[in-house]
């Protein structure tokens, strides 16, 4: 996927800049049940369908030191009051050749920018967080090991809009590690089906990123 | 990443015993906890300590039918209790009544925002109990996290945020690691974990660990006016908890069949005698059906009650009983094992506070 440069910010998924950016349909599959991180989750979800968001439209641009990724997918389900919809993009370390299917592994963790819809009570929470993912749901805030608390500087931004049963979300973060990775994985959580952590839909193949 | 179901190795296990024969349902314990720990936004409905009338639906409503725990060596899929099932944390129509000019036509009432939270509460079915006059019966059951030896909550946590603290076996949550996925809420069969929507983290009883670290008993225990809440280390052979649980076997875990090996124990309730139709005393039939108590405390409840009754009979006949003397608690501080420090004597100026005041996980998650 080509990652063209833009001049003005386009964090809003409705920004007209996106009309000129080619998007790609990326197929998604359920994160495999046998890769789920513990016996409880495997037992609770073994016979329950999840990860049914079949595909997501993906486009990406670079603006200065930032990478902006726009995701758009169908979600016409009635919202659920317990879990909200979410999506994320993730990047392996340069040179790592594992598949994106498990959202990282202990030996090859990935950098995950995770967006989640918010309730009115959650207004103070950031729209997106950077996590170190070492397997489905094995997510840890980035920067936690470096010092006390989350590294605010690593925090990605996101702006989202739900309209006509379709989500459009732009997630933005540091360009350098994404450019070094040269590829990206995508994950979508359908909140109305209680999806969260490793229970979701993931791209089985990396999406190549061609950054100037 | 998950906690081994065999349970983490701990240097000691902090434990509690509640003598249900003495609990009067005053909720001082619940309030002590609420005031200390759950007063912020997102915690309105949280009661880490609850006292419910038994028999009853409890809190969250019908929690005993919500699954979780382990059976036949496998985890049991559980339901995640909703805000409405916990109930409470109500908001009231203060503006309308006090400032809206309707003080004479509208009465003060909780406002249900369509989420059902005003249809239940933490002590909704208080004193309903069961049975028919004159043989009605009920008793109170204080409940908090059991700081289980096999914490299925931690086993279900995908991030390693929940863990069993090695030094005293308290089950804690590192909130920096918690992502709000709430598998712990499903997996805990006691339904003692709450979701903080404002902060997107789960929360539960922390065994007042900052107090324990200063030698102070948990607030629920220290505030209880009934002198019935023992705190101490389970393995301390001289402590009352070890004696009540392991030696005399009169204190039992709640729902041992849930498979988590709780570290909170209960002395089951003996009840007053039943009355016959002519109002004479029926010495033979227990007022609280033994099968009901067995459904709560397992089959060992029968021998525990027999032991207690035997001790009562001996004392009534002029003898003595170490078990009853222990449960009477002549000296209040005997309740608290190594945690007898008066919090009022501690220097609380900020630079003197030596306790960690954090549940940060120090050993690596996944260990
Ligand atoms: S009572 Fe529930 S939350 Fe507490 S340790 Fe046991 S399983 Fe975990
Ligand atoms: S404070 Fe003591 S007597 Fe009162 S409800 Fe709690 S445990 Fe029972």
| CATH code for position A140 | 2.60.40.1190
Tell me what the mean pLDDT of segment B321-325 comes to: 98
How close is the Cα of B360 to the center of ligand 1, in Å?
18
Regarding the beta carbon of B172 and ligand 1, being less than 6 Å apart is answered no
Greater pLDDT, B98 or A146: B98
A97 located within any domain: yes
Ranges A81-85, B122-126, B299-303: which has the least confidence:
A81-85
Residue B52 dihedral angles phi and psi, to the nearest 5°: -120, 150
**Six token digits for residue B250:** 């009169």
**Which chain A residue has its CA at the smallest distance from B80's CA?**
A82
Please tell me chain A's helix, strand, coil percentages from 3-state DSSP, rounded to the nearest 5.
Answer: 15, 35, 45
Asked whether the beta carbons of residue B182 and residue A38 sit closer than 8 angstroms, the reply is no
Ligand 1 centroid–CA B164 distance in Å is: 10
Structure tokens, B124: 């909704």
Nearest CB to A140; choose among B159, B182, B200: B159
**What confidence score (pLDDT) does residue A96 get?**
73
In whole angstroms, give the CA distance from residue A16 to residue B134.
77
Alpha helices in chain B (DSSP H): 28-37, 83-86, 94, 152-156, 183-187, 209-212, 219-223, 240-242, 290-297, 301-316, 322-328
Which pLDDT value is given to residue B351? 72
Mean pLDDT over each residue of chain B, to the nearest integer: 93
In a domain, A19, yes or no: no
Strand, coil or helix: B191: coil
Tell me how far the alpha carbon of residue A9 is from its chain's centroid.
20
Peptide bond preceding B134: is omega within 30 degrees of 0, i.e. cis? yes
Residue B365: pLDDT over 60 = no
A15 in a domain, yes or no? no
> Looking at chain A, which runs of residues are DSSP E strands?
2-3, 24-27, 29-30, 55-63, 66-74, 86-91, 110-116, 128-133, 139-141, 157-163, 166-174, 183-189, 201-202, 207-208, 210-211
pLDDT score for B1: 35
A130: CB partners within 8 A, 6+ apart: A111, A112, A113, A114, A141, A142, A143, A151, A154, A155, A156, A173
Query: What's residue B309's pLDDT?
Result: 96
The one-character DSSP state at A1 is -
Give the residues across from A140 on adjacent strands. A132
Count of C-beta atoms within a 10 Å radius of residue B97: 17
Percent of chain B with pLDDT over 70: 95
- What SS3 class is residue B358? coil
Give the gap in angstroms from C-alpha B66 to the nearest C-alpha of chain A. 13
| Tokens standing for residue B158 | 């995908």
This prediction's pTM:
0.94
Q: Provide CB contacts within 8 A for B231, sequence distance 6+.
A: B14, B15, B16, B217, B218, B221, B241, B335, B336, B337, B339
State whether the beta carbon of B226 lies less than 6 angstroms from ligand 2: yes
End-to-end CA distance of chain B: 7
Domain limits at A148? Answer: 25-208
Answer yes or no: is the C-beta of B203 below 6 A from any ligand 1 atom: no
Task: Examine residue B55 and say whether the peptide bond preceding it is cis (omega within 30 degrees of 0).
Answer: yes
| Nearest alpha-carbon partner for B144 in B231, B242, B240, B248 | B231
The torsion angles phi and psi of A98, rounded to 5 degrees, stand at: -65, 165
Express each pLDDT in B131-183 by its tens digit.
999 999 999 999 999 999 999 999 999 999 999 999 999 999 999 999 999 99
Measure CB to CB from residue B159 to each of A139, A149, A150 and give the nearest one. A139
- CB < 8 Å to A121, chain B: 41-42, 197-198
Q: What is the pLDDT of residues B353-364, one digit of tens each?
A: 655 567 888 765
Tokens coding B145: 């996290």
pLDDT of residue B363: 66
Parts of chain A with a pLDDT under 70: 97, 145-154
CA distance B153 to B63: 16
Q: How far apart are CA A191 and CA A85, in angstroms?
A: 4
Q: What are phi and psi of B99, to 5 degrees?
A: -120, -5
H/E element holding A44?
helix A39-45
pLDDT tens digits for range B251-262: 999 999 999 999
* Residue B258: partners with Cβ closer than 8 Å, 6 or more residues away: B68, B69, B70, B189, B190
Asked whether residue B367 carries a pLDDT value surpassing 50, the answer given is: no
CB-closest option in B77, B82, B197 to A43: B77
pLDDT at B2: 37
Does residue B9 have a pLDDT over 90? no
pLDDT at B359: 82
Minimum CA distance residue for ligand 2 atom 3: B23
φ and ψ of A68, to 5 deg: -115, 125
Indicate yes or no: CB of B156 within 8 angstroms of CB of A149. Answer: no
Assigned domain for A14 exists: no
Domains of chain B, CATH where assigned: 2-87+122-356 (3.30.70.20), 88-121 (no CATH)
- The per-residue pLDDT for A7 is 93
B interface toward A at CB cutoff 8 Å?
1-2, 5, 41-42, 74-78, 80, 82-83, 115, 152, 155-160, 176-177, 179-183, 186-187, 197-200, 365
Total tally of structural domains belonging to chain A = 1
- Quick one: residue A180, left, alpha or beta (phi over 0 = left, psi -120 to 50 = alpha)? alpha
d(CA B60, CA B195): 13
On the question of pLDDT at B88 being above 90, the answer is: no
Query: Residues B24-61, buried b or exposed e (16+ Cβ, 10 A)?
Result: ebebbbbebbbebbbeeebbbbbbbbbbbbbbbbbbbb
The continuous run of DSSP H or E covering A177 comes out as helix A175-181
Spatial contact of B17 and B250, defined as CB atoms under 8 Å apart: no
**How far apart, in Å, do the first and last CA atoms of chain A sit?**
12
B122 lines ligand 2 (CB under 6 A): no
- The predicted-structure confidence for B228-272, as pLDDT tens digits, reads as follows 999 999 999 999 999 999 999 999 999 999 999 999 999 999 988
Nearest to A170 by CA among A79, A70, A27, A32: A70
- pLDDT at res. B144: 98
Report if residue A11 sits inside a domain: no
Higher pLDDT, B90 or B130: B130
Query: What pLDDT score was predicted for residue A154?
Result: 56
**A140 to B158: CB separation less than 8 angstroms, yes or no:** no
Hey, what are B239's tokens? 């402590």
Predicted pLDDT of residue A24: 97
Is residue A20 domain-resident? no
pLDDT number for residue B115: 79
Instruction: Please give the Cα distance from B232 to B267 (Å, whole number).
Output: 16
Least trusted range by pLDDT, from B16-30, B102-116, B167-181, B335-349: B102-116
CA dihedral in degrees (A43, A44, A48, A50; nearest 10)?
-100
User: Could you tell me how far CA B230 lies from the centroid of its own chain?
Assistant: 13
Host H or E run for residue B267: strand B264-267
Task: Look at residue A8 and tell me if it is in a domain.
Answer: no
Residue A3 covered by a domain: no
């Amino acid at each position: 996927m080509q990652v063209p440069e833009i001049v003005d910010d386009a964090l809003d998924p409705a920004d007209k800049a996106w009309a000129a950016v080619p998007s790609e349909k990326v197929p998604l599959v359920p994160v495999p049940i046998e890769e789920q991180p513990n016996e409880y989750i495997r037992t609770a979800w073994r016979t329950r369908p999840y990860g049914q968001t079949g595909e997501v439209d993906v486009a990406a641009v670079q603006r200065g030191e930032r990478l902006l990724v726009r995701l758009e997918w169908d979600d016409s389900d009635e919202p659920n009051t317990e879990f909200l919809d979410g999506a994320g993009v993730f990047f392996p370390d340069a040179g790592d050749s594992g598949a994106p299917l498990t959202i990282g592994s202990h030996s090859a963790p990935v950098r995950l920018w995770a967006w989640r819809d918010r309730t009115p009570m959650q207004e103070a929470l950031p729209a997106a967080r950077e996590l170190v993912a070492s397997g489905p749901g094995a997510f840890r805030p980035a920067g936690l090991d470096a010092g006390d608390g989350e590294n605010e500087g690593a925090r990605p931004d996101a702006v989202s809009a739900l309209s006509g049963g379709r989500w459009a979300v732009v997630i933005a973060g540091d360009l350098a590690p994404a450019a070094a990775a040269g590829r990206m994985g995508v994950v979508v959580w359908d909140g109305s089906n209680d999806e969260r952590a490793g229970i979701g839909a993931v791209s089985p193949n990396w999406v190549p990123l061609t950054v100037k | 990443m998950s906690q081994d179901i065999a349970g983490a190795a701990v240097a000691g296990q902090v434990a509690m015993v509640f003598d249900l024969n003495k609990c009067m349902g005053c909720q001082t314990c619940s309030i002590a906890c609420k005031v200390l720990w759950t007063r912020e936004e997102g915690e309105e409905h949280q009661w880490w300590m609850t006292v419910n009338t038994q028999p009853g639906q409890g809190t969250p409503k019908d929690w005993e039918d919500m699954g979780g725990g382990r059976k036949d060596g496998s985890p049991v899929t559980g339901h995640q209790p909703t805000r409405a099932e916990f109930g409470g944390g109500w908001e009231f129509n203060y503006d309308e009544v006090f400032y809206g000019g309707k003080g004479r036509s509208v009465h003060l009432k909780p406002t249900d925002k369509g989420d059902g939270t005003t249809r239940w509460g933490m002590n909704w079915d208080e004193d309903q109990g069961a049975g028919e006059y004159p043989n009605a019966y009920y008793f109170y059951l204080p409940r908090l996290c059991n700081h289980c030896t096999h914490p299925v909550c931690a086993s279900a946590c995908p991030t390693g945020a929940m863990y069993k603290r090695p030094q005293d076996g308290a089950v804690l949550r590192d909130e920096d690691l918690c992502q709000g996925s709430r598998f712990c809420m499903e997996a805990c069969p006691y339904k003692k974990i709450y979701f903080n929507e404002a902060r997107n983290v789960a929360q539960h009883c922390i065994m007042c660990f900052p107090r324990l670290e200063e030698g102070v008993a948990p607030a629920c225990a220290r505030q209880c006016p009934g002198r019935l809440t023992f705190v101490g280390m389970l393995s301390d052979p001289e402590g009352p908890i070890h004696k009540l649980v392991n030696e005399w076997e009169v204190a039992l875990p709640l729902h041992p069949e849930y498979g988590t090996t709780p570290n909170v124990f209960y002395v089951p309730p003996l009840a007053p005698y039943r009355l016959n139709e002519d109002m004479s005393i029926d010495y033979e039939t227990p007022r609280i059906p033994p099968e009901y108590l067995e459904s709560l405390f397992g089959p060992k409840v029968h021998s525990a009650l027999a032991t207690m009754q035997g001790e009562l009979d001996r004392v009534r006949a002029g003898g003595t009983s170490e078990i009853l003397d222990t449960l009477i608690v002549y000296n209040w501080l005997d309740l608290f094992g190594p945690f007898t420090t008066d919090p009022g004597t501690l220097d609380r100026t900020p630079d003197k506070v030596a306790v960690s005041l954090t549940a940060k996980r120090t050993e690596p998650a996944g260990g």
